[in-house]
A and B are shown apart, each in its own frame.
Chain A
Amino acid sequence: MKRPKLLSLGFAVPPYSYSQLEIFEALAYPHHFWRIYRDAGIERRHFCVPLERFRVLSFQEQQEEYQRSAIELSKQAITNCLDGRDLKDIGCLVYCSCSGIAPGPTIGHYLVKELGFSPNTRVINIGMQGCEGGGYPGLAAAADFTTAHGKQALVVACELTSLSYYPEPDGEPNPENDFQCLRANAIFADASSAAIVGYDDDWKHPYIIDQESCTDTRYVDDLGYRWRDGRLMVLLSKKVPQIAPIVVKSALDAILQRQSLKVEDIRWWVIHAAGRAVLRNIQNSLGLSDDKLSLSLGVLRDFGNCSSSTVGLVGKRLMSENIKIGDYGVVITVGPGITGGVSLLCWGEVEQV
């Protein structure tokens, strides 16, 4: 059995771009909360609607905008990922998103129609799995499809977190759960990323060697969304930076043991840019040097936390690095559950299983 490979990555961000100060001022929070925005390690974020609009949209308007923008942004990310490849070679489209709700027909069906995928394309929708959607279950579904059917699979993650904004009155942030809305509004942003999984002979396209996840359900109510007043309201406990390294390490240790590898054998780290505290705690938990986090911190700085799209942005930057034959890399996601997902990559010749 041949191992599947990651053939290509692409991403797209929406047109409205703002500094942290512009966002903070538009949200009209009391000044003393500025530190949270200033120290988030983020310079700019992109949104699919202008700041002055996203605070006033009704739930219905949010979902209508989601439908429009998710199709458009996903198309851009897919086009960038295809980079001249033939869409007809894609046998499966996996669409992942947690920030909006598109009842069937799904966004995936519209992408098949508007981009002209083969009518035989299998469409899979992975919804509401938070920041891990595209990076772990999405990539795993694509890898499983390729392994089982020998055809290429395309996974696209599209997150429009600005359209899950939960309204708060000027100057009166909801203190619930340690100001979870205020903290979420300090980091989340919009983006779409896409990846093609398949087979080829180019050593620069890494094999997907192994995948593993770990969910600690004791913290199931600490991360995600919940319904409130007919809207989505973010659920972001302050425990997340403490729990994330534990589930990530458990999943990673299982892979390292199976593959007879050590942490020091992993040269490239594509870690979900969830936030500074999550990244720092994962770094400390695994004993990583600062340079291992540079790709994730760079994406956090330039784009913020784009939920499940984020690892695609980090991975795209990795492809420009000085990768050598024999290098190992990992893709790490964190999402609701609380779940840590890890995919092991290897560049070059790999023994088949």
Chain B
Amino acid sequence: MESILERVTRVVVEKTEIAREEVGPDSHLERDLNMDSLDRVELLLALEEEFRQSISEEAEQGFETVGQIVKFIEGLQ
């Protein structure tokens, strides 16, 4: 069974088309993954669908790295 980190990473890879091995918990969404605000909107919608959870705008604003997304979703489980 996939861990939350693996599931988040899979969604990030699908959205950014960046190689799986280049995405890790410390990957910065803007600097490392070159995500702009539209990419982040699309990532947010994909994460909500993947985890069947609503992610608030306030929470989403705090996401700077993949690891921060994972930590937030772990808190929802």
Contacts and interface: CB of A to CB of B under 8 A. Distances in A.
Nearest to A178: B38
Chain B interface size band reads: under 10
Interface string A278-295: 000000000000000000
A62 to B, nearest CB: 26
A178 B57 CA distance: 21
Contacts of B41: 32-33, 35-36
A241 B36 CA distance: 10
B36 A238 contact: yes
B37 interface: yes
B18 interface: no
Contacts of A33: 41
A16 interface: no
Interface in A226-267: 238, 241
Contacts of B60: 35
Most chain B CB inside 10 Å of its own CB: which residue of A35, A36, A238? A35
Contacts of A35: 37, 40-41, 44, 57, 60
Contacts of A183: 38
A36 B60 CA distance: 13
Contacts of B45: 32
Interface residues of A, number: 14
Interface string A179-191: 1000100000000
Nearest to A180: B38
Interface in A23-39: 32-36, 38-39
A36 B44 contact: no
A40 interface: yes
Contacts of B37: 35-36, 38-40
B38 A36 contact: yes
Contacts of A87: none
Contacts of A40: 37
Contact of A277 (B36, B40, B57): B36
Interface string B39-68: 011001100000000000100100000000
Contacts of A277: 36
A91 B40 CA distance: 51
A167 B31 CA distance: 34
A178 B41 CA distance: 12
A159 to B, nearest CB: 23
Nearest to A242: B34
A81 B38 CA distance: 38
Given A32-B44, A32-B45, A238 B38 contact: yes
Contacts of B38: 36, 178-179, 183, 238
Interface of B: 36-38, 40-41, 44-45, 57, 60
Interface of A: 32-36, 38-40, 178-179, 183, 238, 241, 277
24 contacts: A32-B41, A32-B44, A32-B45, A33-B41, A34-B57, A35-B37, A35-B40, A35-B41, A35-B44, A35-B57, A35-B60, A36-B37, A36-B38, A36-B41, A38-B37, A39-B37, A40-B37, A178-B38, A179-B38, A183-B38, A238-B36, A238-B38, A241-B36, A277-B36
Given A35-B40, A38-B37, A178-B38, 10 more contacts: A32-B41, A34-B57, A36-B37, A36-B38, A40-B37, A179-B38, A183-B38, A238-B36, A238-B38, A241-B36
Closest 9 CB pairs of A and B: A36-B37, A39-B37, A35-B37, A35-B41, A32-B41, A277-B36, A36-B38, A33-B41, A35-B40
